[in-house]
Amino acid sequence: MKQYHIWTIGCQMNHADSIRIGNALEQTGYIYTEKLEQADLVLLNTCSVRQRAEESAQGKLGSLVPLKKKNPALVVAVTGCMVPPDDEAKAALYKRFPMVDLFFDTLDPQRLVEILPERSEQPLLPGWPSIQGKIGVTAFVPVIYGCNYSCSYCIVPLRRGKEQSRPLVELVDEIKGYVVQGVREVTLLGQTVDAYGHDLPERPDLADLLSAVHEIEGLWRIRFLTSHPKMMSYKMIKAVADLPKVCEYINLPVQAGDDATLKAMKRPYTVAFYEKLAATVRETVPNVSLSTDIIVGFSGETDEQFRHTYELLERIRFNEVHVAAYSPRPGTLAEGYEDNVPLAVKRERLQAVEQLQEQIAASYSTPLVGKDLEILVEKREKGKWAGRSRTNKPVFFDNPAEPEYAGLDWRGKLVDITIERAGPWSLQGRVANTSPLPEPKPLQTFQPIVEKEKPGAPVPLMLVNRK
């Protein structure tokens, strides 16, 4: 059988897209291989949000040249944010990377299937992604693609286009399919996930989707990201507070703490608006973990403007901060701005934010020592079991010492862990109750909502597990 290999870099959306494309390939008879040299098809799912990520993809393409020379029949395909939508820009990429057979949009896997030398003549069936390797405990589910905002620094709208929400019933069916195979937590994904539904005929919103997913039997936890401050409604915030399966974790990127910088970034809110929103989230959702994204060294950012950002971080005291130094991206509005903050200054500011956040994160972690946290165990890592709390804190623990628990597989279990050691970024502890919860009971039967509502529609392809 023909084999394929997928290399992915970038955000959770890219990883979810890779799984969906893998599903399309498996419908044609391809099987997955981890060994690049054994593949008949190599797919690169790329990211251009940061310069370093794009350089990594370009380096990976260069490494495929010897393989292509050794095996001219090897199919090399590229998708993701590195692929522009217009044909002229694509033509330039083909000229620059002649080893590539196809540059294509992630939303059009049929285009990839069409160039395969051996393929089924049947069109791809609608369906949910297959899961690479063993069935996992968690899954990422894209619910809305694209972005309608035009932030001056961001390449995503240029590469992923306008917002396109997936139908609610399709998403519920997909997640039910995951749960059948043992998934216990899903993360709903979107570049602006809280914009979900505005383009659908019924106009459901993210709160409606959360409520629908919440009703799925056998699913224990729900997360969502990434949110846009201007799209975050009180109804959505209240859904996080009221729906027990929705975790108390909200990612709400602010990007900068200075109004002039936000205006240059074309972020459509002020610092005061954001602070009021953050306060509303914390007042409404008890024990919520609030995370954000920060860009330092944006074009024209002065020392005073950076100080405003630093002071905002001191005031809000986020649980998590993801910080990056600004790098101009081709085609964006900010590409025309002068990149006038020296690299050394960008690094100093980035380090200052990281050091501040380490102190703040430690102040949240230390009081947890001696307390019990509910953990969904995801994997075995470096000799310990690893999972996350509802507030997204990584937690590690050992098997209990009692002989009867030797060799017990804790994956997919909800376990109370007594925290014994706390670092800024992770926690360690012991099992608080050595009687683990019973094995999850997967749904025994599953009838897709799509099939019920649309008689005669093709039944989505069930998950295919890669061996």
pLDDT per position as a tens digit, 298-308: 999 999 999 99
Is the CB of residue 458 less than 8 Å from the CB of residue 125?
yes
CATH 3.30.750.210: which residues of the chain? Answer: 134-247
N-terminal to C-terminal alpha carbon distance within the chain: 13
Residue 458: the pLDDT is 30
Contacts of 81 (CB under 8 A, 6+ apart): 10, 14, 46, 47, 48, 49, 155, 156, 159, 160
Res 422 pLDDT > 80:
yes
* Closest CA relative to residue 222, chosen from 24, 12, 390: 390
Fold of the domain spanning 134-247: Transcription Regulator spoIIAA (3.30.750)
How confident is the model at residue 435, as a pLDDT?
Answer: 52
Match 């932030």 to its residue by tokens.
151
Here the tokens at position 78 are 């590229």
Residue 149 is given by DSSP the state: -
Computed over every residue of the chain, the mean pLDDT equals: 86
Q: Is the dihedral of CA 108, 114, 118, 122 positive or negative?
A: positive
Per-residue pLDDT tens digits for 244-282: 999 999 999 999 999 999 999 999 999 999 999 999 999
Report, as an integer, the average pLDDT of 48-75: 85
With cut-offs at 50, 70 and 90, classify the pLDDT of residue 132: very low
Give the residue from 409, 412, 408 showing the smallest Cα distance to 440: 412
Q: What is the mean pLDDT of residues 375-388?
A: 93
Contact of 279 with 237, CB cutoff 8 Å = no
Q: Cβ distance 449 to 172 under 8 Å?
A: yes
Query: Is-contact 309 339, C-beta < 8 A?
Result: no
The span from the CA of 293 to the CA of 142, in Å, is 20
Nearest to 18 by CA among 77, 61, 73: 77
Model confidence band, residue 454 (pLDDT cutoffs 50, 70, 90): very low
Residue 234 has pLDDT above 70, yes or no: yes
Q: How far is CA 59 from CA 36, 52, 192, in A?
A: 15, 10, 30
Q: Taking each helix axis from N to C terminus, what angle separates 234-242 and 206-214, rounded to the nearest 10 degrees?
A: 20
Instruction: Report how far apart, in Å, the C-alpha atoms of 411 and of each of 373, 377, 419, 432 are.
Output: 16, 5, 19, 16
**CB within 8 Å of 90: residues ≥ 6 apart:** 83, 84, 103
**pLDDT per position as a tens digit, 78-97:** 988 888 777 887 888 888 88
At 130, the pLDDT band (50, 70, 90 cuts) reads: very low
Q: Quick one: pLDDT at residue 81?
A: 82
Q: Is pLDDT of 433 > 80?
A: no
Quick: pLDDT tens for 310-356. 999 999 999 999 999 999 988 899 999 999 999 999 999 999 999 99
Strand 75-80 relative to strand 138-145: parallel, antiparallel, unpaired? unpaired
The pLDDT confidence band at residue 451, using thresholds 50, 70 and 90, is very low
**Contact of 234 with 206, CB cutoff 8 Å:** no
pLDDT of residue 354: 98
User: How would residue 444 be classed by pLDDT, with cut points 50, 70 and 90?
Assistant: very low
Please give the pLDDT value at position 109: 67
- What CATH code is assigned to 3-114? 3.40.50.12160
pLDDT, tens digit, 9 for 90 and up, residues 158-198: 888 899 999 999 999 989 989 998 999 999 999 999 999 99
pTM assigned to the model:
0.83
Residue 418 pLDDT greater than 90, yes or no: yes
For residue 436, the model assigns a pLDDT of 55
Of 74 and 271, the one with more pLDDT: 271
Burial class of residue 89 (count of CB atoms within 10 Å of its CB; 0-12, 13-18, 19+): middle
| 464/20: higher pLDDT | 20
How high is the pLDDT of residue 438?
Answer: 44
Q: In what order do the strands lie in the sheet with 102-103?
A: 31-32, 3-8, 41-46, 75-80, 102-103
User: With contact defined as beta carbons under 8 Å apart, do 423 and 365 qualify?
Assistant: yes
Confidence at residue 190, expressed as pLDDT on a 0 to 100 scale: 95
CA–CA distance, 295 with 152 (Å, rounded to integer): 12
In the chain, CATH 3.40.50.12160 sits at 3-114
Q: What H or E segment, with its residue span, contains residue 259?
A: helix 259-265
Does residue 450 surpass a pLDDT of 80?
A: no
Q: Looking at the chain, which residues constitute the CATH 2.40.50.110 domain(s)? A: 369-431
The CATH T-level fold of domain 369-431 is OB fold (Dihydrolipoamide Acetyltransferase, E2P) (2.40.50)
pLDDT at 212 over 70: yes
Looking at 110-124, 203-217, 218-232, which range is the least confident one?
A: 110-124
Buried b (16+ CB within 10 A) or exposed e, 211-244: bbbeebeebbbbbbbbbbbbbbeeebbebbeebe
